[in-house]
């Protein structure tokens, strides 16, 4: 069965980014000329996904509004003859079918995904985490869907990280399965204590999951940090069905972290159609004064 839906959890409080995120969802922080979340939505749209399910919480309505039609704004732009701008806003509100569901308590990523179970139903689906931006020629979601069409099983996106950073991620231990960039999952652990794993394959926020993950999540007890961890449910699922880890092609930015966010702004600004060249010259000038 093809993957038609993508769950995007956006309920997190964004504490890593306070005070900027006190009144604004972290997903609405701007990278060059659009909010972070729009890059993720555009990635899944470009990959052929048909519906997005936002898992939201109180104070996140700006995200839904961003992808909605704004009658007043449309009216004003038409009156002022700002046709192109009007068209761009129109494009954003027509990108894709969007449904929202509320995660009422911050019980963890696993719980957030479980909250979407009735809307996802009994079909494979994608999960994209709003903090993880991937800059690539072929959208990361597309790369994963291509592999899914071959293997028809759950897939987690991974990238290699230095050993002293493994404690910040879900870590996959796998065996090479002959296909380029692909490993069969043997074990996985959420944020292992330093020195407790030999693997450097870190989970990045893109997953394709079989619907059985919801059964696993139903019986997942709180794990790392006292939260219901998606990684723990994935480990349980990997014992019942094959699961793959895929080293995607592209550069990943942790946009939920201040330094990662700055790196993302620079990378996206340098590649921006209108601003890229100008920004490159400016950066060189700045570098010369350092
Ligand atoms: C989540 C996942 C973790 C993964 C990470 C990637 O953690 O639980 O397995 O490696 O996203 O960004 P978080 O960063 O939300 O704590």
| H-run or E-run covering 144 | helix 140-151
Provide the mean pLDDT of the chain.
95
Ligand 1 within 6 A of CB of 170: yes
Instruction: Summarize the confidence of residues 87-105 as an average pLDDT.
Output: 94
Ligand 1 centroid to Cα of residue 182, in Å, is 20
Which of 114, 22, 24 is CA-nearest to residue 60?
A: 24
- CATH no., domain 5-289: 3.90.550.10
Share of the chain above pLDDT 70, in %: 100
Question: Measured from the CA of 203, which atom of ligand 1 is nearest?
Answer: 10
Higher pLDDT among residues 165 and 1, named by residue: 165
Question: Measured from the CA of 169, which atom of ligand 1 is nearest?
Answer: 10
Residues with Cβ within 8 Å of 139's Cβ and at least 6 positions away in sequence, in order, are 43, 44, 46, 47
Query: Tokens 């926020």 label which residue?
Result: 205
Question: Measured from the CA of 190, which atom of ligand 1 is nearest?
Answer: 9
Q: Any idea which of 173-177, 199-203, 259-263 has the lowest mean pLDDT? A: 173-177
Give the N- to C-terminal CA distance of the chain in Å, as an integer: 55
CA gap 127, 114 in Å, rounded: 11
Nearest CA to ligand 1 atom 9: 170
pLDDT digits (tens, 9 = 90+) for 2-28: 999 999 999 998 888 999 999 999 999
- pLDDT for position 14: 84
Instruction: Summarize the confidence of residues 85-99 as an average pLDDT.
Output: 92
Say if residue 246's pLDDT is above 90. Answer: yes
Question: Measured from the CA of 12, which atom of ligand 1 is nearest?
Answer: 15
Ligand 1 within 6 A of CB of 231: yes
Ligand 1 within 6 A of CB of 190: yes
Torsion sign, CA atoms 143, 208, 3, 34: negative
Model confidence band, residue 105 (pLDDT cutoffs 50, 70, 90): very high
Say if residue 61's pLDDT is above 90. Answer: yes
Share of the chain above pLDDT 90, in %: 90
Nearest CA to ligand 1 atom 2: 170
Ligand 1 centroid to Cα of residue 170, in Å, is 6
Ligand 1 within 6 A of CB of 220: no
- pLDDT for position 272: 95
Query: Tokens 């099983």 label which residue?
Result: 153
Instruction: Summarize the confidence of residues 71-94 as an average pLDDT.
Output: 91
Model confidence band, residue 179 (pLDDT cutoffs 50, 70, 90): confident
For helices 276-288 and 258-270, the axis angle rounded to 10 degrees is 120
Which of 257, 250, 230, 248 is CA-nearest to residue 36?
A: 257
- pLDDT for position 109: 97
- pLDDT for position 171: 98
- pLDDT for position 149: 96
Ligand 1 centroid to Cα of residue 281, in Å, is 35
Q: Any idea which of 16-20, 122-126, 185-189, 272-276 has the lowest mean pLDDT? A: 16-20
- pLDDT for position 13: 86
Choose the residue to mutate in 40, 112, 203 for probing ligand 1, maximizing ligand atoms within 8 Å of C-beta: 203
C-beta separation of 133 from 13 below 8 A: no
Say if residue 177's pLDDT is above 90. Answer: no
Ligand 1 within 6 A of CB of 129: yes
Domain ranges in the chain are: 5-289
- pLDDT for position 106: 93
Ligand 1 centroid to Cα of residue 49, in Å, is 22
CA gap 83, 68 in Å, rounded: 18
The alpha carbon of 205 is separated from its chain's Cα centroid by a whole number of angstroms, namely: 5
Nearest CA to ligand 1 atom 3: 170
- pLDDT for position 1: 81
C-beta separation of 125 from 209 below 8 A: yes
- pLDDT for position 220: 97
Ligand 1 centroid to Cα of residue 229, in Å, is 9
Tokens of 198: 């030999």
Model confidence band, residue 178 (pLDDT cutoffs 50, 70, 90): confident
pLDDT digits (tens, 9 = 90+) for 111-138: 999 999 999 999 999 999 999 999 999 9
Question: Measured from the CA of 256, which atom of ligand 1 is nearest?
Answer: 14
């Amino acid at each position: 069965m093809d993957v038609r839906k993508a769950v995007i959890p956006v309920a997190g409080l964004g504490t890593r980014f306070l005070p900027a995120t006190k009144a604004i969802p972290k997903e609405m922080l701007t990278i060059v000329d659009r909010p972070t979340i729009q890059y993720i939505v555009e990635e899944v749209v470009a990959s052929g996904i048909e519906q997005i399910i936002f898992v939201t919480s109180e104070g996140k309505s700006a995200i839904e509004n961003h992808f909605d039609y704004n009658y007043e704004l449309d009216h004003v732009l038409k009156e002022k003859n700002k046709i192109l701008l009007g068209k761009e806003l129109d494009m954003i509100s027509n990108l894709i079918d969007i449904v929202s569901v509320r995660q009422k308590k911050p019980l963890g990523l696993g719980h957030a995904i479980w909250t979407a179970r009735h809307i996802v139903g009994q079909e494979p689906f994608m999960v994209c985490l709003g903090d993880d931006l991937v800059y690539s020629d072929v959208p990361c979601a597309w790369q994963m869907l291509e592999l899914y069409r071959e293997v028809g099983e759950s897939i987690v996106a991974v990238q290699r990280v230095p050993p002293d950073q493994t404690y910040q991620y879900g870590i996959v231990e796998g065996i090479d399965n002959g296909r380029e960039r692909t490993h069969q999952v043997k074990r996985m652990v959420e944020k292992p204590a330093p020195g407790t794993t030999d693997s450097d394959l870190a989970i990045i926020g893109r997953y394709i999951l079989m619907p059985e993950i919801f059964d696993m999540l139903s019986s997942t007890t709180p794990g790392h940090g006292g939260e219901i961890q998606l990684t723990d449910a994935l480990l349980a699922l990997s014992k019942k069905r094959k699961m793959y880890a895929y080293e995607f092609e592209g550069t990943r930015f942790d946009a939920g972290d201040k330094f990662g966010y700055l790196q993302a702004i620079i990378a996206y600004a340098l590649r921006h159609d209108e601003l890229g060249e100008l920004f490159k010259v400016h950066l060189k000038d700045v570098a010369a004064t350092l």
